[in-house]
């Protein structure tokens, strides 16, 4: 009896040990997942009012925000810092924290990148280049401008050639080894293999390799219908714009995402894709190019062959034309940015001379103009005194009044009259009234 009892106690002890081992293993695995690098950084570049800050608000879910002012600017901070938490998509466990630096849209402030993008953090950096889709005529120039800023800063860090070569190779390998999630599921189900992996890249791919993963984000995609209405754009215009953006991305090995913070379109996909590229977490969203306001093209998916499909839909536009020849700035945009004209006030004497001309014109029913003499520097005062009020009545008095003011303005050093103009006019009017009563 005692032997049976002792056996059950041993079994219970072994069961407890097994339970504790399971718990410890789970904690160990969870801790391992949480020990992810916390030095990952996202650099956000783009024009003023392109929607950078609103987009980052969506990425950070407006919960964890901190601003670091590195110089003041009229529109806010020149360099702004925020962060968002990285969580496990399945368990919602906290894994890490990703820092976000936002440079304002003034190119002259690009020197501030030295605080955000340093030599020792370059390997752990992603770049977001934001363009405003509501102003499509500026898209390509904006992409060129900010990638040039990024390239110049990377060059200024003077990384060892070996380190730079490793970073460039990592981008090439990522692009070459990309597998679309939908294709991966199909090949797995039929027992296929990745035949395209390891093949050389096309000549147009990664010709401008900066060593940093780049994600091109087109903001305000919800305004594309409004742009189409105002500019008379057709589907082929949007295809033409998309074609040029995708070729730019191909040259830099960049991804492309069209977003709308207003309608919360593709913002969650962008956040997950950033985490995927930074930390290597799983990402199961495939590329989509069907909806023109929700484009998503991960790095490695696109090619010249796929981009050329857009040319098939262009009937009235030459797909080989320069971007600026087809997508031109709106006329209203040019007018709104034009400098206001300066307006100069007339000199006092010039203003009085103008009034004198009107005062000397014949009035209705008078039959003739007031008999005033030409005003000169020497005899203008005499002319104003000797002139008799004619048939013009008070109009003559008004003419004499202005002649007197002009005369006083021209005497001496050209200083304005010293007497009160209203008092002078009342005095002359009273004198005229007395003469008419006599």
d(CA 184, CA 192): 9
Residue of 373, 370, 354 lying closest to 362 (CA atoms): 370
Do 67 and 122 touch, CB atoms closer than 8 A? Answer: no
Structural domain count, the chain: 2
Tell me, what's the pLDDT at 370?
A: 46
pLDDT winner (highest mean) among 110-114, 254-258, 319-323: 254-258
Indicate whether 302 and 433 sit together in one domain.
Answer: no
The token pair at 423 is 């008092």
User: Tokens 């009545």 belong to which residue?
Assistant: 393
Indicate whether 326 and 362 sit together in one domain.
Answer: no
88-92, 131-135, 274-278, 353-357: least confidently modelled range = 353-357
d(CA 237, CA 221): 15
The pLDDT confidence band at residue 67, using thresholds 50, 70 and 90, is very low
Indicate whether 50 and 153 sit together in one domain.
Answer: yes
Alpha-carbon torsion 191, 192, 193, 194, what sign? negative
The pair phi, psi for residue 132, each rounded to 5°, is -95, 110
Indicate whether 93 and 124 sit together in one domain.
Answer: yes
- Decide which of 293, 310, 335 is a domain's last residue: 335
Indicate whether 219 and 279 sit together in one domain.
Answer: yes
From the CB of residue 60, how many other CB atoms can be counted at a distance below 10 Å? 18
Tell me, what's the pLDDT at 93?
A: 82
19-28, 38-47, 58-67, 247-256: least confidently modelled range = 58-67
Assess if residue 12 is contained within a domain: no
Do 366 and 391 touch, CB atoms closer than 8 A? Answer: yes
Q: Per-residue pLDDT for 408 more than 80?
A: no
Read off the pTM.
0.67
Indicate whether 243 and 367 sit together in one domain.
Answer: no
Full domain range(s) for residue 159: 30-179+198-335
Q: What's the pLDDT tens digit per position in 301-317?
A: 999 999 999 998 898 99
Indicate whether 266 and 396 sit together in one domain.
Answer: no
Indicate whether 242 and 120 sit together in one domain.
Answer: yes
Q: Per-residue pLDDT for 384 more than 60?
A: no
């Amino acid at each position: 009896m005692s032997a049976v009892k002792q056996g059950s106690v041993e079994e219970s002890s072994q069961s407890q040990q097994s339970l504790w081992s399971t718990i410890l293993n789970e904690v160990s695995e969870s801790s391992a997942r949480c020990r992810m690098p916390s030095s990952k950084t996202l650099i956000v570049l783009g024009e003023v009012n392109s929607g950078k800050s609103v987009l980052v608000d969506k990425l950070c879910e407006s919960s964890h925000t901190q601003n670091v002012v590195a110089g003041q600017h009229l529109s806010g901070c020149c360099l702004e810092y925020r962060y968002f938490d990285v969580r496990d998509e399945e368990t919602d466990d906290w894994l890490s924290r990703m820092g976000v630096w936002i440079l304002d849209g003034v190119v002259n402030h690009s020197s501030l990148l030295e605080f955000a993008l340093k030599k020792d953090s370059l390997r752990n950096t992603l770049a977001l280049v934001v363009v405003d889709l509501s102003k499509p005529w500026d898209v390509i120039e904006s992409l060129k401008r900010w990638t040039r800023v990024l390239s110049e800063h990377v060059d200024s860090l003077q990384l060892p050639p070996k380190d730079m070569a490793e970073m460039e190779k990592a981008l090439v390998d990522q692009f070459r080894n990309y597998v679309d999630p939908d294709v991966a599921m199909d090949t797995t189900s039929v027992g296929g293999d990745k035949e395209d992996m390891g093949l050389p890249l096309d000549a147009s791919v990664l010709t401008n390799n900066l060593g940093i993963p780049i994600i091109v984000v087109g903001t305000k995609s919800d305004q594309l219908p409004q742009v189409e209405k105002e500019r008379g754009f057709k589907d082929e215009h949007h295809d033409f714009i998309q074609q040029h953006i995708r070729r730019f991305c191909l040259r830099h090995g960049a991804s492309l995402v069209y977003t709308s913070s207003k309608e919360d379109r593709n913002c969650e996909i962008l956040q997950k894709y950033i985490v995927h590229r930074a930390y290597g977490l799983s990402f199961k969203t495939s590329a989509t190019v069907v909806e023109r306001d929700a484009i998503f093209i991960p790095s490695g998916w696109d090619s010249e062959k796929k981009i050329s499909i857009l040319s098939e839909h262009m009937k009235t536009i030459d797909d080989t034309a320069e971007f600026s020849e087809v997508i031109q700035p709106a006329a209203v945009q040019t007018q709104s940015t034009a400098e206001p004209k300066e307006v100069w006030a007339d000199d006092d004497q010039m203003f009085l001379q103008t009034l004198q001309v009107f005062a000397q014109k014949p009035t209705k029913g008078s039959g003739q103009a007031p008999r005033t003499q030409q005003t000169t520097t020497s005899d203008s005062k005499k002319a104003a005194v000797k002139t008799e009020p004619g048939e013009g009545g008070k109009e003559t008095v008004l003419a004499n009044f202005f002649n007197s003011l002009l005369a006083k303005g021209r005497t001496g050093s050209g200083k304005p009259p010293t007497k009160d103009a209203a008092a002078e006019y009342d005095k002359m009017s009273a004198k005229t009234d007395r003469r008419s009563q006599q």
